[in-house]
Amino acid sequence: MNVPRIRIACASGALLLSLGTLQTATAADPNSFSANIGAVSNYIWRGVSQTQDGPAIQGGLDYAHASGFYLGTWASNVDFNNEGAAQIATAMVDADGLPILDDNGFPIYETTGSSNPNAPTYELDVYTGFGGKIGDDWKWDLNAILYAYPDGRDANFAEIGGKLTYRWITAGLAYTVWGQADGGDNNKGILPYEGDLYSFGAVDFALPYDFAFNAHGGYYMFRNSDGQSYATWGVSVSRAVGDYGTVSFNYDQNGGNQEVWDTDPKVWVGWKKTF
């Protein structure tokens, strides 16, 4: 079965890869504020759909200081409601209200219901960090992020991380420092829990006609993995369209255990505009 991993953000660009893109403060005012809104045909995070392959509306607010400090929040709808949902077994009855029996004389039950009342419907992230440059070629960033699911249950978790960029190459780590999941045998890497580690890398470079290319990959290692850890990879081609924002065409996939993760290739489109 394909068990949804309740977490989540941001699709193949991943939230951690975008935290350092806040607007630069002017020399006159060291503070800057920005907002963004976007839409995606599939919300992919670390190679896994967070919307059951459905669309999502997303947006956030950001503050940045000229010193390199930043603070922000970001939200998206999610859908973990179908797979692994609670089921209700009800005895089947005939027209007279009597139980329908099988050949062995036992009642026949039908399973109904595909809605998990504990599954969240939206994600709300809060993050902060500090970054800077080393010469002209190196950039660094240290950050912390809380992934919250206010209308869900036992799904919140927090990470600390960092990344280093040399020209067009980026590498980084994200470590789960806290998670509401109990981390026991029933979890087995489905929900993020303290001790999980995600390592990632990406390359970015410009293409002709103002297109941009991104290739990214990573490995998600769960402390309670039991075979659930997985690698992920993907590519993205994007282009700014003037005042209308940026559009992207994306491919993502993971190489996890097919009994747990949906390993089908995901092709999706996205749009984002920053104000």
Which residues does 114 contact at the CB level (< 8 Å), separation at least 6?
81, 82, 85, 87
Structural domains of the chain, with CATH: 15-81+123-274 (2.40.160.40), 83-115 (no CATH)
Q: Which residues pair with 273 in a beta bridge?
A: 37
* Better-scored residue on pLDDT, 83 or 122: 122
Which pLDDT score is estimated for 270? 98
Alpha-carbon distances, residue 93 vs 89, 107, 112, 114, 130 (angstroms): 13, 9, 15, 21, 64
Measured between its terminal Cα atoms, the distance across the chain in Å is: 41
Which pLDDT score is estimated for 13? 45
Tell me: the pLDDT tens digits for 82-102?
444 444 456 677 878 788 887
Tell me: the pLDDT tens digits for 42-94?
999 999 999 999 999 999 999 999 999 999 999 999 998 744 444 445 667 78
